[in-house]
Amino acid sequence: MKKCLLSFAACISLLTMGCGNSASENTAEAVAQKQQTNALLAESKKNASEIEKLNEQYHEVPDERMLNNGGQNSPVYKELQQRYKTQLGAMKQSVEATGAKFVVVIITPEVGKNISALTRYGHPFIKQACTDLGVDVYDLSPVIAAQDARVITQVPRDGHWSKKGAEFLANQLDPILVKYAGHKSTKTYADAERPETFGDLAPSYEEILDGGKDMPYKVTSNAQGLRMDHDIKFPKAKQHILFLGGSQFFSPFLDNEFIATTLLQKKHPEMEIMNAAMIAGCTDDFLSQWEEKAKYSEPDVVIVQTNGTDITDLFFTNRNHMARTKKPYYPSPVEEKYFLETYRK
Amino acid sequence: MLFNTLEFARFFAIVFAVYWLVARWPVVQRVVLLAANFYFYSNLHYSFPIYLGAMIWVGYLFAMAIDGQEDQKKRKATLVAGICILGFGLTYIKYSGLILGSIEGLSRWQSSALGILVPLGISYYTFSSIGYITDVYRKKVTREPDFIIYASYISFFPHLLSGPIPSSATILPQFRKPKFPSADQIEQSIAEIGWGLFKKMVVAANVEKTVNYCYAHYEDLNGSTLFLGVMLFNLYLYADFSAYSEIARGVGRLLGIELTQNFKMPFFSRNPGEFWRRWHTSLRKWMLDYLYLPLGGNRGSKFKYVMVMLFIFSFSGLWHGANMTFVCWGLLNGIYFLPYILSDKLTRYKNVVAAGRLFPTGKEAMQLALTFFLVTLTRIFFRAPNMTVVKGLVVKIFSASVLEAPMTLVLQKVAWCIPMLMFEWVQREKRYVLELGRNNMALRVAGYLVIGVLVYELRAKVNASEYYYFKF
């Protein structure tokens, strides 16, 4: 009998470790919530099926080679540039509607003289677009390019920041924070309006990841799904700085304590540094993330990380594979023409 | 093709069906098995079967040459030549980097040597081949004249990559006329495969990254976290390696071949001697038969006995890898034996601990804990990539920071291993872990279903990683 009980306890402890609580109260509110969830699930299922169809039909995702042989002048790249600019404009408008300051920082971990075509053609365009839109832009790529890749990144194993690189990045971002130190937004939200999370990480998440590269690192999120170790409190008592961006802000292969935003937080305890960055994100993702959840963190300054990859990442096949929204992206006539000429000849 | 993948399940289903469908034609059945073995191996890399094929031919021809000799001296010379050739192949492929790299001025050779792709499982089938020709020399087994039977035995896919290292006296004859498994054997196979999948996919896969994290970030972590990390590696290694062995046994039995039981619940050992009688038993038996006994074993003075033991463990360390860390790991294990050798207590405890009781006595519990602790310390050397990391880990673990609170995440991961240990403790007197009530079919079926559900629900949501012992 004791043996049976012990075995039963072992099974139960395992099940409780792996499964969360699924109990819910059978109230009218719960029923309504269930109906809403079912509707969302149905839509999500429909979208997933549509994306699957599109991915089968249009499987390939173009990379830097899109810009080979004069590709920077091609209609498809021009269209993606325009799309990028439109999204940046929409984001600026939405951010500034809250009274927050919208700032763009160009960051790419490319080092040395052999910069990629994505940077060569992308960065001048981004800077010009920001100027046209009246957005403050800081291009950190030249100062990064002058560094030693073996020091600031984890090459040869991976091109993302090393501990030294994160320190370097924090030092580059620091003057930008100081510059906007006095800026205050005007928009506030009631607690009931706020979504469960402001970032895309699961709330209060702590796990070891390795990116499939045997480079283990610990990711910790706060209760609001941001890559940081403490929760954001409301009404806010400090200036809120929100970092939106891709892996350059997320910093895979480094524990929370070593990433640039944590270092900045230590340096500026008078500010609330909020890291909502995601791996493999682009402006399309930052915009949807902002609208859906990040804006409810009531930032006073929003710093968006971008680079030339964000332009080509807007190609519809990339979006269908990578976008966080999981909605189908259909090709424009120009994109379809490019796709067929490139991959179906 | 890993055991815990759908790809393997499909492969095995086809092999199982075809293998038994053609059972009435033994030659065809053997060819089917040999083809399956080589297909399985080629799936890892196209070049691997070439080396395996060469090793099989060498073993086969030398066994023939030894068997054909009447003159004892010539037989011995042929055996030595065979061992040298097989050993040279293994040494060149696996150890040339270490050997050439340690000699100054040979950097040109070193670079070419390091470029060699080491076939997975090479140590296992080299040892199997050496064991076989030695047994033929000793007339412990009759030489296998049928090349296909011999080749199937060496290349048998369930034991090819990670053992158990087969014993030619007990395993080879089974390949001559494999018998369709009985209902009891089929059930035992299912149970062993199920438990193996649980240990690999639920326990090992869920803790693997945390182990890697602890060893990679030893400079940033405190002593208590690192000690837990090393302990977790000890548990992970057991879960991973014993899982492979159990699945291999289950799969082998379904093909009519009963492989050696490689693990006999080693964490329930009362001293290091007992631990080594329960851990990786097929390697231990190989060392015993082909090194320990020829070197004199425990005959002669205690000093000689100790030297033999230290040599065996150092050799075992080198078998695991061409790295000082493995040599130190082996030596440390050998040193653990010294007090027991000197007090003639090494071979105590041949029965199961606390037999017939649910809980151990206080003394037994202390013995179990001490043995586990000692084994855990050896894992510092076993997993660390170099001696710098070993030093870093030892300094931290034996510092005041071992009294600080450990990282919660690492503590939580240790919890994944506890149900495995609890269940194995309860079942430690059974033939296999999932042997549940012989006369109660409903209980058995329920048990298998629970394990199936647990594997499905709790499996780590990551890509299937290789089994740790493949690299050896």
| B57-69 tens-digit pLDDT | 999 999 999 999 9
Is residue A17 scored above 50 in pLDDT?
A: no
Distance from CA of B192 to the nearest CA of A (A): 17
Instruction: Please tell me the distance from the alpha carbon of residue B22 to that of residue A345, in angstroms, as a whole number.
Output: 48
- Is residue B294 within 8 Å of residue B308, measured between CB atoms? no
CB-CB under 8 Å, B423 with A17 = no
Q: Is the pLDDT of residue A21 over 50?
A: no
Amino acid identity at B191 = A
Confidence of residue B350 (pLDDT cuts 50, 70, 90): confident
The rounded distance, in Å, linking the Cα atoms of B312 and B337 is 12
Closest-CA residue of chain B to A2: B358
Q: For residue A218, what is the nearest residue in chain B, using CA coordinates?
A: B213
> What are the distances in angstroms from CA A323 to CA A61, A150, A199, A291, B389?
13, 31, 15, 15, 41
Chain A residues with CB under 8 Å of B422 CB are 6-7, 9-10
Q: Is the peptide bond before A331 cis (omega within 30 degrees of 0)?
A: no
Q: What is the distance between the alpha carbons of residues B59 and B83, in angstroms, rounded to a whole number?
A: 9
Give the pLDDT of residue B131. Answer: 97
Q: Is A307 exposed, middle or buried (0-12, 13-18, 19+ CB in 10 A)?
A: buried
Given this model, what pLDDT does residue A82 score?
Answer: 97
Residue A299: its pLDDT value, please? 98
Q: Which of A4, A8, A208, A258 to mutate to test the interface with B (most CBs of B within 10 A)?
A: A208
Residues in B closer than 8 angstroms to A10, CB to CB, are 418-419, 422-423
pLDDT above 70 for A3 = no
What is the structure's pLDDT at B465?
Answer: 62
Q: How far apart are CA B239 and CA B237, in angstroms?
A: 6
Whole-number pLDDT of residue A20: 39
In one-letter notation, the amino acid at residue A23 is: A
Which of A6, A10, A208 lies closest to B210 in CB terms? A208
- Chain A residues with CB inside 8 Å of B202's CB? 14
Q: Indicate the residue of B216, B426, B463 with minimum beta-carbon distance to A212.
A: B463
| Residue B351 at interface with chain A, using a CB cutoff of 8 Å | no
CB contact under 8 A, B409 and A208: yes
Task: Report the alpha-carbon angle A213-A218-A222, nearest 5.
Answer: 135
The pair phi, psi for residue A270, each rounded to 5°, is -75, -10
Cα torsion B406, B411, B413, B418: sign: positive
- DSSP letter assigned to residue B4: T
Question: A106: which DSSP letter?
Answer: E
Q: What 3-state DSSP class applies to B460? A: coil
Window from A210-214, B219-223, B410-414, B446-450 with minimum mean pLDDT: A210-214
**pLDDT greater at residue B357 or residue A12:** B357
Residue A16 — pLDDT band, cuts 50, 70, 90?
very low
* Closest Cβ opposite residue A3 in set B210, B358, B418: B358
Q: Are strands A217-220 and A206-209 parallel, antiparallel or unpaired?
A: antiparallel
Q: What is the pLDDT of residues B203-236, one digit of tens each?
A: 999 999 999 999 999 999 999 999 999 999 999 9
Please provide the average confidence, as pLDDT, over all residues in chain A: 90
Residues of chain B in contact with residue A3, where contact means CB-CB under 8 angstroms, are 358, 426
Helix (H) or strand (E) holding A208: strand A206-209
Query: What is the Cα–Cα distance from B65 to B371, expressed in whole angstroms?
Result: 46
- pLDDT exceeds cutoff 90 at B462: no
User: How many angstroms away from the CA of B454 is the closest CA of chain A?
Assistant: 7
Nearest to A7 among B209, B418, B423 (CB): B423
- B426: which chain A residues are within 8 Å (Cβ-Cβ)? 3, 6-7
Q: What is the mean pLDDT of residues A27-37?
A: 80
Q: Residue A344's pLDDT is what?
A: 86
User: pLDDT (tens digit, 9 = 90+) per residue, B128-143?
Assistant: 999 999 999 999 999 9
Residue in B149, B159, B250, B145 with CA at minimum distance from that of residue B197:
B250
- Which pLDDT value is given to residue B1? 82
Which of the four pLDDT bands, split at 50, 70 and 90, describes residue B437?
A: confident
Q: pLDDT digits over B182-198, tens only?
A: 999 999 999 999 999 99
pLDDT score of A30: 78
Strands A158-161 and A153-154 turn out to be antiparallel
Pick from A1, A3, A6, A7 the residue to mutate for testing the B interface (most B CBs within 10 Å). Answer: A7
A336/B354 Cα distance (integer angstroms): 72
Nearest-by-Cβ selection for A10 from B216, B217, B419: B419
The H or E element spanning position A174 is helix A163-179
Burial of B274 by CB count in 10 Å (0-12 exposed, 13-18 middle, 19+ buried)?
buried
Query: What's the ipTM?
Result: 0.78
Among candidate residues A341, A198, A335, the one with its CA nearest the CA of residue A275? A198
Q: Do A13 and B358 touch (CB under 8 A)?
A: no
A208 vs B213, B418, B454: nearest CB:
B213
Residues 6+ apart with CB under 8 A from B85: B58, B62
* Average pLDDT over every residue of B337-347: 87
What average pLDDT score do residues A145-162 get? 93
Q: What is the pLDDT of residue A14?
A: 45
Cβ-based burial of A71 (10 A; exposed 0-12, middle 13-18, buried ≥19):
middle
| Token couple for B123 | 């140590």
- What does the block give as tokens for A66? 């899109």
By Cβ distance, the residue of B213, B409, B422 closest to A10 is B422
B439/A57: higher pLDDT = A57
| Alpha-carbon gap: A214 to the closest alpha carbon of chain B (Å) | 8
Q: Closest approach of chain A CAs to the CA of B165, in angstroms? A: 29
Looking at residue A177, its pLDDT comes to 97
The beta-carbon neighbor of B409 closest among A3, A19, A218 is A218
Q: What is the pLDDT of residue A211?
A: 83
Question: Do B400 and B223 form a contact (C-beta atoms < 8 A)?
Answer: yes
pLDDT tens digits, B383-393: 999 999 999 99
For residue B341, pLDDT beyond 80: yes
Q: Which residue in the set A9, A19, A216 is minimally distant from B213, CB to CB?
A: A216
The predicted pLDDT at position B257 comes to 97
Could you give the percent of chain B with pLDDT greater than 70?
Answer: 94
Substitution target in B423, B453, B471 with the highest count of A β-carbons within 10 Å is B423
> ω before A216 within 30° of 0 (cis)?
no
Q: How do residues A274-302 score in pLDDT, each as one tens digit?
A: 999 999 899 999 999 999 999 999 999 99
Q: Tokens at residue A262, please?
A: 């944590």
pLDDT at A27: 74
CB B247 within 8 A of CB B193: yes
Q: How many CB atoms lie within 10 A of CB B457?
A: 12
Q: Encode pLDDT of B78-115 as tens digits.
A: 999 999 999 999 888 887 766 665 555 544 444 444 56
Residue of chain B whose alpha carbon sits nearest to that of A18:
B458
User: What is the distance between the alpha carbons of residues B277 and B273, in angstroms, rounded to a whole number?
Assistant: 6
pLDDT of residue B91: 87
Considering only CB atoms, which chain B residues are within 8 Å of A212?
463
Give the per-residue pLDDT at A111: 85
Task: Compute the average pLDDT of residues B451-459.
Answer: 91
* Phi, psi of B156, deg, nearest 5: -50, 115
Q: Is B463 on the interface with A (CB under 8 A)?
A: yes
- The residue-averaged pLDDT of A156-185 equals 96
B:357-376 residues touching chain A, CB 8 A cutoff:
358
Of the two residues A47 and A113, the one the predictor is more confident about is: A47
User: Model confidence over A221-268: pLDDT tens digits?
Assistant: 999 999 999 999 999 999 999 999 999 999 999 999 999 999 999 999
Token pair of B247, please? 């699945």
The C-alpha of A211 sits at a distance from chain B's nearest C-alpha, in angstroms, of 10
Across B321-338, b (16+ Cβ under 10 Å) vs e yields bbbebbbbbbbbbbbbbe
* B419 interaction partners in chain A (CB closer than 8 Å): 10-11, 13-14
Nearest to A261 by CA among A131, A162, A170: A170
Mean pLDDT, range A310-314, rounded to an integer: 96
Q: Distance between CA atoms of A285 and A292, rounded to whole angstroms?
A: 10
- Beta strand pairing status for A301-306 and A101-106? parallel
Cis check for the bond before B164: say yes or no (omega within 30 of 0).
yes
Q: Which bin fits B229, alpha (ψ -120 to 50), beta or left (φ > 0)?
A: alpha
pLDDT, tens digit, 9 for 90 and up, residues A85-108:
999 999 999 999 999 999 999 999
Residue B468 pLDDT grade (very low, low, confident, very high; cuts 50, 70, 90): confident
